[in-house]
Amino acid sequence: MTPTRDCYILVYVDDLLFLGEQQVVDKLFTAIQQHLLLRPTGTLEPGKTVSFLGRNITNNGDSYDISLSQDYVANILEENNMLNCNPAPAPGTAALKAPTADHELPLSTDEHAAYRRTVGKLQWMTYTRPDISYATKELARALQAPTTADQQKLKHLLRYLKGTQHYRQVIRPTAKIPPTQIPDLNIYVDSDWAGCPETRRSTTGFLITLLGATINYGSRTQATIALSSAEAELYAINTGATEALHLRNLLMELFNVQKVNIKIHTDSSSGKSMATRIGSSRKAKHIDLKRLLIQQLISHDIVRLNKIHTNENPADIFTKYISTETLHKHLQAAGLNTQHHIH
């Protein structure tokens, strides 16, 4: 993102998105047109929709909807001969995660190519569909040598998408601040300790909000095998902190402020204790020093760590296959609108 006075330009190869007051944007657009061939494709006024990088962005006045065309999902279903499949209530189930090595078979060359192509398209969707982040991450881990078990997981996810094609990401601030201040960044983190039945690696999930609106999230397999649930939670807290530091630096540069508070929320008392204790304890002395970055951030008052109840942690949806009830409870917190469009 390139800042100018009262205007920002988001550049991705040859696609440009101008953000700012209409008069300022028009003046800057005209100036650039004198040197480059630019073709305007729309203005995001209230009630209008524009397309950027294949995503439809709608200005609702008090919020923005971001979604891919429903044809995108329909095309994926058609390529996999699943246009008429029965919808599934969740992206996956715990049964899909159980070890099935004795019954797995490698996919054929054609099936492997189709699997890779479909997972690639699903990864593109995750930027507007937090609910499929974990399931897609798990599918991507098998890209090199997928099996029939992985194919079963893929088909289950496609069945879920069949019934949720209308879902869309919503950016709706729920708080206001004075123009000269920057609000806190709130980061929700969670982990699933030793969740992978094959490698025993854990999964980190994080969700970041600004003014009550979800602006970033992710699901990642931890690179280091955690020896305890507390250690897995510490790694998740560390990931959330580093993601927040990037956004903090961006906000400080864009708005010319000296400080942005980072508030990390975890449902792990042991993880919180390990993160706030200076140095390594007897149970944590094997942990690499870089994993203890969070302790330094807390001691310098850059990061604040809060304990929340497990039921109030939306990052849970990024760590494992969860029940339909739990999933829908956290979808709103993740910024996903599940209502059908009203035309």
Q: Which residues, in sequence order, are CB contacts of 265 under 8 Å at separation 6+?
A: 186, 187, 188, 189, 306, 307, 308, 313
**Which 3 state secondary structure label does DSSP give 36?**
coil
Which residues on neighbouring strands pair with residue 221, listed in sequence order? 203
The pLDDT tens digits along the chain (343 residues) read: 555 557 888 899 999 999 888 899 999 999 999 999 999 988 999 999 999 988 999 999 999 999 998 799 999 999 999 999 999 999 999 887 766 655 689 999 999 999 999 999 999 999 999 999 999 999 999 999 999 999 999 999 999 999 999 999 999 988 877 766 778 899 999 999 999 988 999 999 999 999 999 999 999 999 999 999 999 999 999 999 999 999 999 888 887 778 899 999 999 999 999 888 866 666 666 676 666 788 889 999 999 999 999 999 999 999 999 999 999 999 988 999 988 765 4
Fill in the DSSP letter of residue 29. Answer: H
Distance CA 83, CA 70 (A): 13
Distance CA 80, CA 115 (A): 9
Q: Which residues, in sequence order, are CB contacts of 124 under 8 Å at separation 6+?
A: 54, 68
Distance CA 156, CA 86 (A): 10
Domains of the chain: 1-40 (no CATH), 70-162 (no CATH), 174-337 (3.30.420.10)
Q: What is the pLDDT of residue 99?
A: 63
Would you say 308 and 76 are in contact if contact means Cβ atoms under 8 Å apart? no
User: CA torsion angle for 16, 17, 20, 21 (degrees, to 10)?
Assistant: 90
Class of residue 46 by CB neighbours under 10 A (exposed 0-12, middle 13-18, buried 19+):
exposed
Distance CA 88, CA 107 (A): 23
Q: What is the pLDDT of residue 343?
A: 45
Helix (H) or strand (E) holding 188: strand 185-192
